[in-house]
Structures are given as C-alpha cells and as structure tokens.
Amino acid sequence: MGGIWGRLSSPLSQMRASSKLHMMVGEAMKRRVSAGGGSPFRSIDGMLMKFPKLIEGLKELHIIFDQFDKDSNGTINWEELRQIFSYLQLKFSDQTLANLYDACEMDGHKGINFAKLVLLLGWFHLLEDHPYESHAGDLPHIEGTFNTLIDAFVFLDKNGDGYINRKEMVQAIKEAPSKEKSSKDTKDIAMNRFKEMDCDKNGHISFKEFLLAFTRWIEINDDYQ
C-alpha cells in the first residue's frame, strides 16, 4: 500500500492522469451515445425529476461508506476502498483504482472521502463496459444511480466533448417535445443548477464537477432534515 500512496503523491502524476482521464471520458461518452442512441431523457424536465432519486441513491452509498469508515473520521484507506468495491460486486484491479485515484486527488490528503468515492465510482461505471462481477444483486439502486448520472450528463453534453457549457444547457431546455415544453420555473432551476455545478466558474462543467455537485446537494438536504 505504501508504494501506491507514494506514487499517488506526485503532482505530475496527477496532472498526467487527469489529462488522460478527460480524453477517456470524452471517448467513453461518445461510445455510449453510439451504442445506445444517446440518453433516454427527452427533456430537461424529465432529467430534473430524477434528481431527488439520484440524491437518495447517493445517500444509500454514503451509508455504505460510513460502514467501511471504521474510525469514523470521514475517510477510508486503500484497503477499505478495495473492500467497498468488492462489496458492490465490481470487477477491478489495484492498477485501475490507482489510476482513477490519481485523477480524483483534490486536496493533497492521503485518504478517500465520500466525494472521492463518488468520483471513483462515477468514472468506473462510465469507463468499464461490464463493471459488475454479476448483476448488482441486493444493491440495484447503486448501479442505477450511476447509470442515470451518466445518462443525465450525456443528455446535456450535446457535442460529446466531455463538458457541458451554458449554450448546451439552453439547448437542452429548448429542445423538449411540444407536449413537454419546459416551464419558466424549470428553466430557472436548470440554470441555477448549472451555476452550482460550475465549480471553477469557467463556463463549462466537467463530469467531475457534475458528480461533485450531487455530493454537495446531499449535504445541503441533510442540513434541512
């Protein structure tokens, strides 16, 4: 484990991994569109209606995370990460996890918090054609949650470059079938969500920012319960 953590601590390694991962994400999005004819969502309304369900699925994942966070410090170690992947019946190798971790490192700390786990699982579900050892079994909500997150991103990423920009968000709002035209409230919600997801305020949303936004919304919802 020490060798893995030592390699992951290199900023250059993280930079290269992040750049390579972005290319792989873009290619995987295009493959998904080609294989399945695009996203199952037909309108921004239909996509936004799934958000509460997605948040519930991620809350379920957070419960699993807490179960493996033995000392309750908000992070898990490498071995506990491997145990979670095994618990979820995911097919993986240590090298695959190490490569993904390189790209999701955000704060320089040696540990995996819940946000990093969501990133790892989101990328893993996108990049692996058959991520599960078998069907998800007793955990279908986890598989469905990440598949829906990917479908939502594909729906908004109109040009398939791995980013969502403001123009694409506006296009998604406008292109609904005549019977599903978005209301002003929906448009306002969609644009507010865009602002919340655009963490670095550069005018476009990466898949990483998209996933991290949902981890923040979980925390907000919990604060009001």
| pLDDT (tens digit per residue) in 148-192 | 999 999 999 988 888 999 999 988 888 766 555 567 777 888 889
Cβ burial of 52 (10 Å; 0-12, 13-18, 19+) is exposed
Helix crossing, 44-68 with 207-223: angle to 10°? 70
What domain count does the chain have?
1
pLDDT, the chain, mean: 80
Query: Percent of the chain beyond pLDDT 90?
Result: 29
3-class secondary structure per residue, the chain: CHHHHHHHCCHHHHHHHHHHHHHHHHHHHHHHHHHHCCCCCCCHHHHHHHHHHHHHHHHHHHHHHHHHCCCCCCCECHHHHHHHHHHCCECCCHHHHHHHHHHHCCCCCCCECHHHHHHHHHHHHHHCCCCECCCCCCCHHHHHHHHHHHHHHHHHCCCCCCEEEHHHHHHHHHCCCHHHCCCHHHHHHHHHHHHHHCCCCCCEEEHHHHHHHHHHHHHHHHHCC
Question: Does residue 4 carry a pLDDT above 50?
Answer: no
- Provide the pLDDT confidence category of residue 37 given band limits of 50, 70 and 90: low
Domain that holds residue 152: 2-223
- Provide the pLDDT confidence category of residue 108 given band limits of 50, 70 and 90: low
Question: Does residue 225 carry a pLDDT above 60?
Answer: no
Would you state the pLDDT for residue 6? 42
CA distance 117 to 120: 5
Would you state the pLDDT for residue 122? 93
The pair of structure tokens assigned to 55 is 């948040």
Query: Which has more pLDDT, 34 or 193?
Result: 193
Q: pTM for the complete prediction?
A: 0.82
| pLDDT (tens digit per residue) in 53-99 | 998 999 999 999 999 999 999 999 888 998 999 899 888 888 888 87
